[in-house]
Amino acid sequence: MPDSLPTTSQPQPQAVTVAIVGASGYSGEELVRLLLNHPRVELTAVTSRQYAGQTVAQIFPRFASHPRSRTLRFSEPNPDLLARAARFVFLALPHGVAAEFAIPLLAAGCTVIDLSADFRLRNPATYAEFYNHDHPAPDLLAQAVYGLPEVYRDQIRSASLIASPGCYPTSILLPTLPLLRAGLIKPSGIIADSLSGVSGAGRKAEVDYLFCECNESLRAYGVPKHRHLSEIEEQLTLAAGQPVTIQFTPHLVPVNRGILSTLYLAPAEPFHDSTQADSLARRISECYRAAYANEPFVRLLEGKALPDTKNVVGTNLVEIAWRLDPRTGRLLVFSAEDNILKGASGQAVQSLNVACGFPETTGLL
C-alpha cells in the first residue's frame, strides 16, 4: 500500500478486544470478515484446531487485502489465553462444545456471544428433548439473554452471556412477535414454511451437500420436528403468554445463502367484508411500524414488492411484507434474510454493538 495515512477501519482508541472460537466454518469465516473491518473492534484471537499456526489470509484469502489478516494467526482454542486476549468472545462451535468454552470464559470475566444453540432455551428439558443430550451447563441458563436485539435490546446491553438466535428462528420470530404481542393473530395454527441456502448445512463433507446433489434439487427435510422449533416455540410462548406450538417445514434449495420464510397466520378477529379488512390492514401496518420503523435492519416492504433473498444477501437486513387474503381469511407474512448474517454472524455483531454501546449499524453497513 503506497500511502501511510491511517485508514478509518483500523482500530480506534476506544476499540474493544474480541476473539472468535471456532472460526473455520461459514459463520466463523463471516465473523472474521465483519470483525476485521469493524472500526471499534480489535480482533485479537481466532482459534481453529485444524488451521492452528496459519494466518487468516492463508485460510481465507478473500480477506488478504486487510493488513491484520496477514499477521493474525489461528491458534489452538485455550480458554485461559482467550480470556487474557479478549473482552468479548464469540463462540462459533457445535452445540454441546460451545458450553464447555462458555463456562471458563464467563468465569474469567469475558462476555460470551454464543452462536450455537446451547444457551438459547430457558428450559433444559426442552434442550434435552431436541438435542438428544442433557444440557451441559444448566446453571448458566438463567443469565443467558436471547440475542435478538430488536426484542431484547435492553437485556443485551448488560448481558454477560448472549445466545445468538438460529437462522430460521430469526426469520420467523421477527415477523411474528409483534403481531402476537399486539393480539392481532391467534397463537394457534401458525405455519412457517422456510427455504434455506446450502450454507446452512455447514462446511461438511457429506454426499447430500455435494454440488451435483443440491444444484437443480428442491427438497424438504427435518420434518416435522426440526431442532429450531424449540427456540421458536419458546419465544412465541413468551410473547403470547400461553403455550404455542407451530408447524415448521424447512426446505433446502440451491443457493449459497439466504432464507425465505412464508408464514400462514390466523387473524385474531376474522374479516368478513372490506371495511373489516381495511381496519385490520391498518392495525397490522401500524403494529409493524411501531415495532420496526426505527430499526436499521428491518425493512418493511410496501406496495407490490415481496421479499427476495437477493436484496438481503450480504447485508444484515430482514425484509418483511404481508398480505391479507380475503378468500381464506388468512394473513400471509413473508420474510427474507441472509442466513449467515442476520441469521448468524451479523446478528451476533449487532449484539456486540448493543453490548458496547456502539451505534448498532457499526461495521454492518
User: Which residues ranging from 267 to 286 are in contact with its own copies (CB under 8 A)?
Assistant: none
C-alpha cell at 138: 444448566
The CB-of-23 to its own copies minimum distance in angstroms stands at 16
Q: Which is nearer to its own copies, 118 or 231 (CB)?
A: 231
Which one of the spans 78-86, 170-178, 201-209, 277-285 is the region binding its own copies (CB under 8 A)? 201-209
3-state SS, residue 302: coil
Q: What is the DSSP string of 116-173?
A: SSTTT-S-HHHHHHHHSS--S-GGGGGGEEE--HHHHHHHHHT-SEEEPPPHHHHHHH
3-state SS, residue 34: helix
Query: Hey, which residues between 127 and 146 contact its own copies (CB under 8 A)?
Result: none
The CB-of-309 to its own copies minimum distance in angstroms stands at 4
Interaction pattern, residues 1-30, with its own copies; x per rule: CB under 8 A: xxxxxxxxx--x-------------x----
The CB-of-176 to its own copies minimum distance in angstroms stands at 16
From candidates 105, 334, 347, 348, binder to its own copies by CB under 8 A: 334
Which one of the spans 82-90, 129-137, 165-173, 204-212 is the region binding its own copies (CB under 8 A)? 204-212
Q: Which amino acid, residue 145? A: V
Q: Which is nearer to its own copies, 3 or 139 (CB)?
A: 3
Query: Hey, which residues between 98 and 127 contact its own copies (CB under 8 A)?
Result: none
The CB-of-58 to its own copies minimum distance in angstroms stands at 9
The CB-of-191 to its own copies minimum distance in angstroms stands at 6
- State how far the alpha carbon of 340 is from the alpha carbons of 103, 257, 273, 278, in Å: 25, 7, 42, 37
From candidates 139, 211, 273, 275, binder to its own copies by CB under 8 A: 211
CB proximity list for 180: less than 8 A, separation 6 or greater: 187, 236, 239, 240, 244
Q: How far apart are CA 200 and CA 344, in angstroms?
A: 10
From candidates 15, 182, 191, 281, binder to its own copies by CB under 8 A: 191
Q: Which is nearer to its own copies, 247 or 274 (CB)?
A: 247
Q: Which is nearer to its own copies, 9 or 160 (CB)?
A: 9
From candidates 50, 139, 224, 273, binder to its own copies by CB under 8 A: 224
From candidates 126, 237, 262, 276, binder to its own copies by CB under 8 A: 262
CB proximity list for 65: less than 8 A, separation 6 or greater: none
- Candidates 99, 150, 89, 90; CA nearest to 120 is 99
Query: Hey, which residues between 304 and 333 contact its own copies (CB under 8 A)?
Result: 305-317, 319, 323, 325, 327-328, 330, 332
**Binding flag, residue 36, its own copies (CB under 8 A):** yes
Strands 74-75 and 191-196: unpaired
Q: How far apart are CA 78 and CA 201, in angstroms?
A: 27
Interaction pattern, residues 227-256, with its own copies; x per rule: CB under 8 A: ------------------xxx-x-x-xxxx
DSSP letter at 11? P
Strand arrangement, sheet containing 88-91: 74-75, 41-47, 16-21, 88-91, 111-114, 161-163, 144-146
Q: How far apart are CA 27 and CA 283, in angstroms?
A: 37
> Given its phi and psi angles, is residue 345 left (phi above 0), alpha (psi -120 to 50 degrees) or beta?
alpha
Query: Hey, which residues between 58 and 87 contact its own copies (CB under 8 A)?
Result: 61-62, 64-66
Strands 259-265 and 111-114: unpaired
From candidates 28, 136, 169, 258, binder to its own copies by CB under 8 A: 258
Q: Which is nearer to its own copies, 110 or 351 (CB)?
A: 351
Q: How far apart are CA 186 and CA 157, in angstroms?
A: 31
Count the site residues for its own copies by CB under 8 A.
Answer: 99
Would you name the residues annotated as active-site residues?
Answer: 167
The CB-of-138 to its own copies minimum distance in angstroms stands at 24
